[in-house]
Amino acid sequence: MPDQQQTHPHHPQTPGTPRALRLGVAGPVGTGKSSILATLCRELAGELAMAVVTNDIYTDEDARFLRSAGVLPTERIKAVETGACPHTAIRDDVSANLDAVEDLEEAYGPLDLVLVESGGDNLTATFSPALADAQLFCIDVAGGGDVARKGGPGITGADLLIVNKTDLAPYVDVDVAAMVTDARSARNGLPVLALSKNDPGAIAELADWVRSVLARHRDGTHIPTDPGPMAPHSHSHGHSHSHDS
Ligand SMILES: Nc1nc2c(ncn2[C@@H]2O[C@H](COP(=O)(O)OP(=O)(O)OP(=O)(O)O)[C@@H](O)[C@H]2O)c(=O)[nH]1
């Protein structure tokens, strides 16, 4: 098992130089995770040295989407195929993801920021702090205005909650302001951002949030927190399990 560097976020080859901030992006299927990664690369790759790791169940589709978007040199985008349980690879046995992050750091480092996209999963999938220094959780208005009230560790405890695709709200009869208010009341002061890939103001806020976490990571004041374990659940292929670490 590679050194998870949980308490010493420094680049192994350069003592005293902080290694890249590892930012996880999780959320249910289709809520816009890959689009958020593309947006962050477009906004930040001019000022930060970046790389991306994607997680898909059986394919490298998200990596291919990002490569074809042309937002980063293709070799800086690596795919992890997770098998049946995408959450396992970001929560219980994070070694394939850590290997991918460390390979990218070794090949293209020093890096400032590595984005890790979870496979699309359910509302309870979160990153282990052994993999992600910080994580954002993405829900969208198309999933319905009550999603923010349903809770789950990502909604209540991720470093940033994104209510995405606000441009679709009028078409799905969702009141974005009410959804954001519900989300805020579930999060005990943690930030919530209403976002659309067509909203430059919200995109600028997202980029600023990442810059602020990176600044705290670099000066040692950012403390990775665990939003909490997944709820016990079962899989369509027949096994059930809990994630209590
Ligand atoms: N209208 C609108 N559509 C969006 C927005 N963000 C993403 N989409 C669309 O939503 C669909 C899913 O977006 P992705 O970024 O692939 O979502 P994902 O969460 O990565 O999907 P999985 O990896 O399959 O879980 C695509 O058709 C996107 O173009 C947005 O802000 N507004």
- Tell me the pLDDT tens digit for each residue of 135-150: 999 999 999 988 988 8
Name which residue sits closest to atom 2 of ligand 1, judged by CA. Answer: 165
Residue 4 region by backbone torsions, left for phi larger than 0, else alpha for psi between -120 and 50, else beta: alpha
Q: How far apart are CA 128 and CA 130, in angstroms?
A: 5
Q: Which residues are CB-contacts of 107 (< 8 A; sequence separation ≥ 6)?
A: 75
ipTM of this model? Answer: 0.99
pLDDT the model gives residue 83: 78
Q: Which residues are 54's β-sheet partners? A: 79, 117
- What is the whole-number distance in angstroms between the Cα of residue 32 and the centre of ligand 1? 3
Q: How far apart are CA 166 and CA 145, in angstroms?
A: 11
Question: pLDDT tens across 170-219, in order?
Answer: 999 999 999 999 999 999 999 999 999 999 999 999 999 999 999 999 99
pLDDT the model gives residue 14: 52
Residues belonging to the binding site for GTP are 27-34
Cβ pair 121, 231 in contact under 8 A:
no
Q: Which residues are CB-contacts of 238 (< 8 A; sequence separation ≥ 6)?
A: none
Q: Which of ligand 1's atoms lies nearest the C-alpha of 28?
A: 25
**Is pLDDT at 3 greater than 60 in this prediction?**
no
* pLDDT tier for residue 123 given thresholds of 50, 70 and 90: confident
- Ligand 1 touching residue 64 (CB < 6 A): no
Dihedral of CA 206/10/118/153: which sign?
A: negative
Structure tokens at 30: 């289709």
The pTM for the full model equals 0.89
- What is the whole-number distance in angstroms between the Cα of residue 195 and the centre of ligand 1? 12
- What is the whole-number distance in angstroms between the Cα of residue 216 and the centre of ligand 1? 29
According to DSSP, residue 109 is labeled P
- What is the whole-number distance in angstroms between the Cα of residue 114 and the centre of ligand 1? 20
Spell out the domains of the chain, with CATH numbers in brackets.
Answer: 21-135+197-221 (3.40.50.300)
The helix-helix angle for 200-219 and 33-44 (nearest 10°) equals 70
Cβ pair 203, 43 in contact under 8 A:
yes
Q: Which of 25, 34, 35 to mutate to test the pocket of ligand 1 (most atoms within 8 A of CB)?
A: 35
Q: How far apart are CA 80 and CA 22, in angstroms?
A: 15
